[in-house]
Each structure stands twice: as structure tokens, then as C-alpha cells.
Amino acid sequence: MTVLALKKPTLVPISGAPTESNSGEAGVSQSTALCPSSGSAVLSGHSAPAPTGEALISLVTAPDAESIARDLLTKTNRARARREATYELIRRVLPPLVGVALMLLVWSLVSARNTSIPSPAKTWSAAQIIFAHPFYHNGPNDQGIGWNVLASLKRVGIGFGLAALIGIPLGFMLGRFAFMSRMLDPIISLLRPVSPLAWLPIGLLVFQRADPAATWTIFICSIWPMIMNTAQGVQRVPQDYLNVARVLALPESQVVTKILFPAVLPYMLTGIRLSIGTAWLVIVAAEMLTGGVGIGFWVWDEWNNLKVEHILIAIFVIGGVGLVLEQMLLLMAKRFSYEAR
């Protein structure tokens, strides 16, 4: 590394300029200028020319250098942050877009070889007509797709709500009391694998009506995940928590509300999420068999009318509603999780 050495400046009087008579007497104040060629300082009554060359180094002070470095570092960090944000956006958006494009391509190829399957363009045109008036009402058997979706959601809400009211407390009791768990475990293991649609004739026999029978089917298919996940969550509560409650002589109500419920909540929300997905899956098949107003009946009615493009639209609607329900429950689970606190 080359080191620049500056000569020690010396004072040289300029001809014609007044000087001090001696060091002890007061004289006229004069300005000092640096000679750029020799590094000597000269006295002058006028301003010195701008320094160049080696003398320019002395004008760059340490604080100026730190400020420049700080600005460069800030600009570099901002540019890096922008690049990372762009790459993250591409990683999140590009794969779903590629997947959708691939699905549309396969769909177009299949519809080109089989004319009975409508193309994406034809399905899109039919969807514009359907969603232009989703809530029209021309009688009990001729309603818009919006009313059919709401009717299905109503049945799911009633059956799912009843299952939550019974399944969650039952799961707490199965996880809390070993005797009750051993007593009901064979019954649950026997009935849980049964297809939900197998319970539909029992509902028709008991209720003598199609609408309560469909709600009964939703209830019976939604209750098992909530019972199993809640019971598992109670059984996984650390024993130290229960020992502290026993030492403090807490009543069973406070043990449930203060200890068990906060610890079991993530498991319970997982069971709820699984139950709502199963319920929305089953309601379509149940409505196909029972009839009436609902998205399942609407799909079957459109099949009888040979409107396949409407069936494809209903498939996307069913999937979209199920996705929204699942995302809502996922947000709820994150909201009440310990990591979010």
C-alpha cells in the first residue's frame, strides 16, 4: 500500500504584503495558503486557489468516509431486500400458476379428443351466464347456484354444530377417565370406519324426511374426528400439570378450564378442521340421494339435463367453498396456537 507523505508547511512571505515587525508586536492578520507544488504554506491577503493533487486527501475527513460507507451499505441492503422479495414472490406465485396452466392444457387436450367433455372456453362461457344471476328463484326446483350452496352450508352447519356439542365434551371425558375410554373404545372402533352414506337410510327411517336425514349423515361423519383428536389431546397433557392441580386442590371444573382446555385446544381445532372437510365432502353425495335444494341435488339435476359444463362448474364451486372453510379454520388454529402468542 502506497503512503502519501506531505511536507511540513513553512511560512513564506509574499512580496509587497505587510509583515509583522517582531513576534512580540501586534501585526496585521494575514491568511495562510498551501502551495500545491511544494507543499509550503504562503501568506496572502487573498483567498488561495482550490487544492489539487495530494492536498485533496486532507479534505476527506474520517466522518465523511464513514457517511459514504454507511450510505453504500444501506443501498446494498435495500437492493438485496428487493431481490429477495422478488424471488420469494416468484417462488410462491409461479408454481401454482404452472399447475393451473398444466391442468387447463390437459383439460383442453382431453376435450379435443372427446367431444362429450366441454372445453375450458365453453365451461367459462357457461359460468359467466350462471354467475350473472346466482340467486334467481323460479320455484322450489329451479333456483340459482347461490341458493343451492347456501342450503348445503346450512345442513353442514347444523350437523357439524351438533357433532361439536356432543363430540368435544365426550372427547374430554374419554381422555380424562380411563374407565370410560376403555368402555367406549370398542364401540368407536367398530362404528368409525363405516361409510357415512350407510347411515343415510337409518336417518330416513327415523326422521321420515330427507332434510333431517342429510343432517344426520353430516352429524355422524363429523363426530368421530372431534372425539378422537380431543381425547388424544387430553391424554397428552403433561402429568406435572395435573399434579399441580391436585396439590392446589382445584375442582374438576377449574382443571378443565384452566389446564386441559388451553393444552387441548390445538388438537381440538385439528379435529374440527378434519370434521368440516369430511362434512362438506359427504353432503354432496347425501343430497344426490335425498334430493331437494342443495349443491349435490343441483349437480344431479344438471346431469339429468345433460349439461356437463354445469357439472364442471359445480365441481369448482364445491372445491372453492371447501378450500375457504379449511383456510378459515387454519387461520383460527394459528390465532389460538401458542406460537402466535
pLDDT per position in the chain (341 positions), as tens?
444 444 444 444 444 444 444 444 443 344 444 444 444 444 444 444 555 555 544 544 555 777 887 888 888 888 888 888 888 888 888 888 999 999 999 999 999 999 889 999 999 999 999 999 899 888 877 888 999 999 999 999 999 999 999 999 999 999 888 899 999 999 999 999 998 899 999 999 999 998 899 999 999 999 999 999 999 999 888 888 888 888 888 888 888 888 888 888 888 988 998 999 899 999 999 999 888 889 999 999 999 888 999 999 999 999 999 999 988 888 887 776 655 55
pLDDT the model gives residue 130: 92
> Is there a single domain that holds both residue 303 and residue 172?
yes
**Is residue 66 situated within a structural domain?**
no
Residue 99's domain spans which residues? 81-117
Which one, of 306, 331, 329, 281, lies nearest residue 116 by Cα? 306
Q: How crowded is residue 161: how many other Cβ atoms within 10 Å of its Cβ?
A: 14
Last residue of a domain, one of 65, 98, 117: 117
- Is 111 domain-assigned? yes
In a shared domain, residues 189 and 312 = yes
Q: Write down the pLDDT at residue 152.
A: 94
Domain count of the fold of the chain: 2
Residue type, 53: G
Same domain, 107 and 182: no
On whether residue 289 sits in a domain, the answer given is yes
Q: What confidence score (pLDDT) does residue 316 get?
A: 94
Q: Return the axis-axis angle of helices 178-191 and 145-176, rounded to nearest 10°.
A: 140
- Kindly state whether residues 184 and 310 are assigned to the same domain: yes
Rounded-to-integer distance, Cα 168 and Cα 170, Å:
5
Distance, CA of 169 to CA of 94 (rounded, Å): 44
| Residue 258 and residue 152 share a domain | yes
- Other beta carbons less than 10 A from residue 65's beta carbon: 10
Same domain, 263 and 170: yes
Instruction: Note whether 175 and 164 are within 8 A (CB).
Output: no
Residue 296: CB atoms within 10 Å: 26
**Residue 3: inside a domain:** no
User: Is residue 32 situated within a structural domain?
Assistant: no
Indicate if 212 and 329 belong to the same structural domain: yes
Domain boundary among 92, 117, 142: 117
pLDDT at 21: 40
Q: Do 149 and 88 reside in the same domain of the chain?
A: no
pLDDT for res 91: 87
| pLDDT value of position 9 | 46
Report the distance separating Cα 194 and Cα 130, nearest Å.
37
Among residues 91, 117, 143, which one ends one of the domains?
117
d(CA 60, CA 160): 75
Do 135 and 164 lie in a common domain?
Answer: yes
**Domain check: are 112 and 130 in the same one?**
no
* 222 shares a domain with 187: yes
Residue-level pLDDT at 309? 93
The pLDDT value recorded for residue 11 is: 44
Question: Is the residue at 153 inside a domain?
Answer: yes
How many alpha carbons fall within 13 Å on the CB side of residue 35? Answer: 15
| Domain annotation covers residue 232 | yes
Is there a contact between 297 and 148 (Cβ–Cβ < 8 Å)? yes
- At 143, is the secondary structure helix, strand, or coil? strand
Q: Which three cell numbers stand for residue 109?
A: 387436450
Q: What integer pLDDT is reported at residue 3 of this predicted model?
A: 42
| pLDDT for 77 | 85
In a domain? residue 113: yes
Report pLDDT for 324.
92
Q: Distance of CA 190 to CAs 80, 185, 187, 278, Å?
A: 59, 9, 5, 19
CATH number of residue 255's parent domain: 1.10.3720.10
Same domain? 85 vs 170: no
Pick left, alpha or beta for residue 139 (phi over 0 → left; psi -120 to 50 → alpha; otherwise beta).
left
